[in-house]
Chain A
Amino acid sequence: MGKLTIAGRTFDSRLLVGTGKFSSPQVMAKALAASGAEIVTVALRRVDIDNPADDTLREIDQDRFLLLPNTSGARTAEEAIRLARLARAATGIEWLKLEVTPDPYYLLPCPVETLKAAEILVKEGFVVLPYINADPILAKRLQDVGTATVMPLGSPIGSNQGLKTRASLEIIIEQSTVPVVVDAGLGLPSHVAEAMEIGADAVLVNTAIATAGDPVEMAVAFKLAVEAGRKACVAGPRAPQRTAEASSPLTGFLRE
C-alpha cells in the first residue's frame, strides 16, 4: 500500500493518534496498540504540585511509538516556540506538532503566528508538523519555509463534524509536496476513509477514539477505515456522474 514518509522516516501506519481524554492510562495503552499507530501526540503542562500522581505517559512504549509533542495551549508564536524548546529538552525529540490557537471557543489555528513560529523552529532544527486551517495558500507558505508536513483541519478540534473543509483539502492535497495529514474534527471512521479517499497521506485522531464507548474497538475501526480509504485512493476511484450507468448488460432482455 506504500509507506508514509515524513522527514525521511517511514511508517507503515497512516493513522496518528492523540493521547488526550482517555479514561485511564491502561485504556489508552490498549487503544494505541489496537490502532496500529506509530506516531502519538503528547502535550506539555505544568506539574500539578498538589496532585502529582499522573502517570499517563509511563504507559506509552517509546520504543514502539514516536512521541510527537504538541504546543497546545500556545496563543502566540512566542508561546509555541517556548513550548517547542521545552519539549525538545524534555524528550530529546525534535518532531513537533505546532499548534497556535488563540481562540478558546473554536480552537482555530492562527495562520500568522503559526507561520512565524514555523519559520523560526525549522531554522532551529525542528521537524515541524503544523496544524492549520484548510488554507491552500498557507499550506504552500509553510511547505516553502520547510515544514515536514501540513496538517489541515477537517473541522474544529474535538467537534466530530468530519470533513467540512473538503473542497479546500482537495486543493491542498493536489498542490502539496509534503505529506498532508488531515487533523481535527474526524469523528467517525467514515470521515477518515473519506480523507484518505481524496488523497490525504495520513490522518490524526484523538477525541473520537478516546471518548468512544469502547475506545479499543473504535481504534480498530479507525485503523481499518484508514486502510480502506488509502486502498481506494490508490485503486483509482471513478468520479460521480449525474445520470445512471447500468452495471448489467443492456442486451438480451427477456422481452420483445
Chain B
Amino acid sequence: MKSLKVNGVERRFDPDEMPGTLSALLDALGVGANAVVAEVDGRIVRRDEFHRTELQDGQQIELIKLMGGG
C-alpha cells in the first residue's frame, strides 16, 4: 500500500491506484473546485501547477480553500 497524508488524515491507496498528480488527487477526493492552493511537504503549490505536481508515497499534503472570515 501507498499512502498520502491529506489535511492531517492518512489515506491509503493500492500501489497502482495512487493519484499521480495533485489534480488526480483532487478528482479522486471529489474536491476539485474547492482547493485554491496546496502545500506538498510544506512547499506551496499554486492551482495552475496542480496538474503537473507529481505525488510520491508518504507525502504530506494540505488542500486549502478561501472561505468567509472577518
Contact = CB atoms under 8 A, between A and B. Distances in A.
Given A52-B31, A90-B36, A72 B70 contact: yes
B64 A86 contact: yes
B66 A72 contact: no
B24 interface: no
Contact of A86 (B7, B44, B70): B44
Interface stretch (A17-25, A133-141, A161-169): A17-25
Nearest to A56: B68
Given A52-B31, A86-B64, A18 B69 contact: yes
Interface residues of B, number: 26
B67 A42 contact: yes
B35 interface: yes
A91 to B, nearest CB: 7
Contacts of B6: 49
Contact of B63 (A21, A47, A70): A47
A19 B63 contact: no
Contacts of A64: none
A206 B67 CA distance: 14
Nearest to B29: A49
A13 B19 CA distance: 47
B51 interface: no
B31 to A, nearest CB: 4
A28 B7 contact: no
A158 B70 CA distance: 9
Nearest to B7: A46
A57 interface: yes
Interface of A: 18-22, 28, 41-47, 49, 52, 54, 56-57, 67, 69-70, 72, 85-86, 89-91, 157-158, 204, 206-207
For the complex of A and B, list the 10 residue pairs with the smallest distance between their C-beta atoms, beginning with the closest: A43-B69, A18-B70, A206-B70, A90-B37, A19-B68, A90-B36, A52-B31, A47-B63, A20-B68, A20-B69
16 contacts: A20-B68, A20-B70, A41-B70, A45-B65, A46-B8, A47-B34, A47-B63, A49-B9, A54-B65, A57-B68, A72-B69, A72-B70, A90-B36, A90-B37, A90-B46, A91-B66
